[in-house]
Amino acid sequence: MKNSFIILILISVLCFNCDKRQTKKEALEQSISEFNQKHRVLETVKYHPEAHVEIVTDTLIANTTNVHIKNYSLSDNQILILSSTNSNLGEVNYHRVFESEVVISKASKDIFRTHISAMQFKGNSTDQFWNNATLQHVWLNQELSTVDDIKLEMSFINPRNMAFKMYRISIDGYGQKSFKLIEERG
């Protein structure tokens, strides 16, 4: 009787352990499968630079001429650099578009005021460089500038192929400007 009771307990333990429960590995695989069916592509979006940028410089030349330059990124305008998808992971990289505001004043009177962006330079140009170009930076060339001839330098970049162009703007004492391409690559 004792043996039959032990056999009965062993049979019942075997029956209760064979209840078709999932193993941890099977449960994990099923969860991953369900997640992948619900979410087709997980997309990672990256911006360069990551946050809004604003750089303001004020330069005084010979105590009479003030050059105010404001370089800033646009929050709502960017250039697509790369978009790739591997299985369920996608990556999208953007480069923010930059613009500048320049004000030159003599004796507290503005003689030159302008807005600079890559779109202005694109104009009617057929150069493919300008299709994805953005302003990089505008700065005062202090070595070449005088009170009567201000020299600003501007660099533009095409972040898709890393080509760049650098221009020099000469502004005379009356606010008349002239542009000159001084360097390019790409």
- Listed residue (153, 147, 176) closest to 65, CA to CA: 147
Residue 58 is predicted with a pLDDT of 95
Mean pLDDT of the chain: 87
Q: Give residues with Cβ within 8 angstroms of 68, minimum separation 6.
A: 56, 57, 58, 101, 102, 103, 104, 105
Residue 137 is predicted with a pLDDT of 93
- Domain ranges for the chain: 42-185
How far apart CA 140 and CA 123 sit, in angstroms, is 24
Percent of residues in the chain assigned helix, strand, coil, to nearest 5: 20, 55, 25
Residue type, 92: V
Confidence of residue 153 (pLDDT cuts 50, 70, 90): very high
Confidence of residue 86 (pLDDT cuts 50, 70, 90): confident
pLDDT over 80 at 8, yes or no? no
Whether residue 49 is preceded by a cis peptide bond, meaning omega within 30 degrees of 0, is yes
Mean predicted confidence (pLDDT) in 153-163: 94
Let me know if domain 42-185 sits in CATH 3.40.50.2300. no
% of residues, the chain, pLDDT over 70 = 90
- Per-residue pLDDT tens for 36-54? 777 666 778 898 899 999 9
